[in-house]
Amino acid sequence: MVPETWTHVLSCDHSVAQEQWRAALSTLVTALKDKNTPPQVVESMVSGLSQWFSHTAVRPLPPTIGALTRPQTLLTAAFQSQSDIGWSSLLRGHLSTHWGGSV
Ligand SMILES: [Zn+2]
């Protein structure tokens, strides 16, 4: 049995928890759009959170990896920085300061 830690509660793969996760992610996207967050930033955050939640990679891969324009490299840096801090940290309000520089 998996211990009911905070991280587990945020990333539980039970079907009911997954439904809740999708609803919460959708609420987050709506809130970010309401605050006029650039679509590329929203996309990066959703990608990182989704990869973290589904455990698809040991370390989530930025959707902008390898892209060479300045906005994309800044987004990649923000994404990597968030991976260093942890994606569950983002859900607790600990966002990388690099996100601010990426917009
Ligand atoms: Zn669980």
Give per-residue pLDDT as tens, 3-13.
Answer: 788 888 888 88
For 11-48, what is the HEC assignment? HCCCHHHHHHHHHHHHHHHHHHHHCCCCHHHHHHHHHH
Q: How far is the CA of 68 from the centre of ligand 1 (A)?
A: 40
Instruction: Please give the residue range of the domain that contains residue 78.
Output: 13-101
Angle between helices 70-85 and 39-54 (to 10 degrees): 30
Prediction pTM value:
0.89
The answer to the question of residue 1 being in a domain is no
Q: How far is the CA of 65 from the centre of ligand 1 (A)?
A: 32
The answer to the question of residue 44 being in a domain is yes
The answer to the question of residue 23 being in a domain is yes
pLDDT digits (tens, 9 = 90+) for 1-50: 777 888 888 888 899 999 999 999 999 999 999 999 999 999 999 999 99
Q: How far is the CA of 18 from the centre of ligand 1 (A)?
A: 10
The answer to the question of residue 22 being in a domain is yes
Q: How far is the CA of 40 from the centre of ligand 1 (A)?
A: 31
The answer to the question of residue 93 being in a domain is yes
The answer to the question of residue 92 being in a domain is yes
Task: Please say if the pLDDT value at position 96 is more than 80.
Answer: yes
The answer to the question of residue 7 being in a domain is no
The answer to the question of residue 4 being in a domain is no
How many domains in the chain?
1
The C-alpha atoms of residue 75 and residue 22 are separated, in whole angstroms, by 23
